[in-house]
Structure 1
Amino acid sequence: MQNSHRFFSNTDCEYFPCHKTKRPERFNCLFCFCPLYFFEECGGNYVILDSGVKDCTTCLIPHTPEGYDHILGRLKARFAEIRKSKPEGE
């Protein structure tokens, strides 16, 4: 799966891997910035800091090969919610 549409590993990046991992060969860089960051509940392992900022440093979901399916599933569900909440014709 190396460097496919579902998985990309940028081992030349100066920050690689940007999260601690025991398996850097499985570290997916495709979602370098998690598209679910601004979701109130993303399904990941995060902590809300006193400042209100979401700290995702312990979350590896976007950086696993399986993370692609997790992220797309969450995005599709959210888009479906948005479509249902819009009045017809908009």
Structure 2
Amino acid sequence: MGDNYKFFNHKECEFFPCHKTNKPEEFNCLFCYCPLYALGPDCGGNPKYGESGIKDCSQCLLPHNKKNYEYIMSRFQDIVEASKKKD
């Protein structure tokens, strides 16, 4: 079995690439909206926080690196825990 399902490059997207990169041919669009956003500063990327406290991921390429598929998938249980309703 190949690894083609781990990478998707959508060059026709009007926002491509949504982050600055020197290697657009290796830019992975599979996680267009990063599933790790919900983990806040513990996402593993390099987010910045504005004065309003909103997470800014505009300089982060973690979900767009074709080699990070396994890392993102390994964090899904953390995302599930973060999304559980707290009483």
Fold in common (TM above 0.5): yes
Change (3 A) 1:4 1:47: same
- Cα drift, residue 43 of structure 1: 0.5
- Name 1:75's counterpart in structure 2: 76
- Cα drift, residue 79 of structure 1: 6.3
1 CA distance for matches of 2:28 and 2:74?
A: 17
1 CA distance for matches of 2:48 and 2:79?
A: 25
What secondary structure is seen at the aligned counterpart in 1 of 2:37?
coil
Higher relative contact order (CA 8 A, sep 6+): 2
- Cα drift, residue 4 of structure 1: 2.4
Identity %, equivalent residues: 49
2 CA distance for matches of 1:34 and 1:61?
A: 9
Q: Tell me if 1:15 matches 2:15.
A: yes
Q: Does the 8 A contact of 2:39 with 2:79 survive in 1? A: no
Give the CA RMSD over aligned residues: 1.8
Which AA in structure 1 matches 2:35?
A: P
Structure 1: segments with no counterpart, 5+ residues = 83-90
Q: Does the 8 A contact of 2:19 with 2:58 survive in 1? A: yes
Structure 2: segments with no counterpart, 5+ residues = 82-87
Q: Tell me if 1:52 matches 2:32.
A: no
Which AA in structure 1 matches 2:54?
A: V
Q: TM-score, normalised by structure 2?
A: 0.81
Q: Tell me if 1:61 matches 2:32.
A: no
Change (3 A) 1:48 1:25: same
Number of aligned residue pairs: 78
- Name 2:84's counterpart in structure 1: none
